[in-house]
Amino acid sequence: MKLPKEMKEKMSKYNVNWDQLIKDFISKKIEELERESHAEKAKEILSSIELSTNGFALKEVKRNRESN
């Protein structure tokens, strides 16, 4: 990545491992974007699933108990 000369000069004043700092930042950003992408896909999948009606589980438990 090309950086302006002025920025390079400022960076050289500090004892920082800039390469590692940039790699870490990019890695964290990629992880964040992947989480967002996975969350969006999960939302799409969940929105396409037909949910059961209210009280369905309760009715099924009662029906199952009564049949035994």
**Cα Rg of the chain (Å, integer):** 27
What type of residue is 17? N
Question: Quick one: average pLDDT of 20-43?
Answer: 97
Q: Is residue 52 part of a domain?
A: yes
Q: 32 lies in which domain range? A: 15-67
Q: Is residue 6 part of a domain?
A: no
Q: Is residue 7 part of a domain?
A: no
In the block, residue with structure tokens 């992408």: 37
Quick: pLDDT tens for 4-25.
999 999 999 999 999 999 999 9
Identify the band that residue 33 occupies on the pLDDT scale cut at 50, 70 and 90.
Answer: very high
Instruction: End-to-end CA distance of the chain: give it in Å, rounded.
Output: 71
pTM: 0.62
Q: Into how many domains does the chain fold? A: 1
**56 contacts 49 by C-beta, under 8 angstroms:** no
Quick: pLDDT tens for 41-61.
999 988 887 766 677 778 888
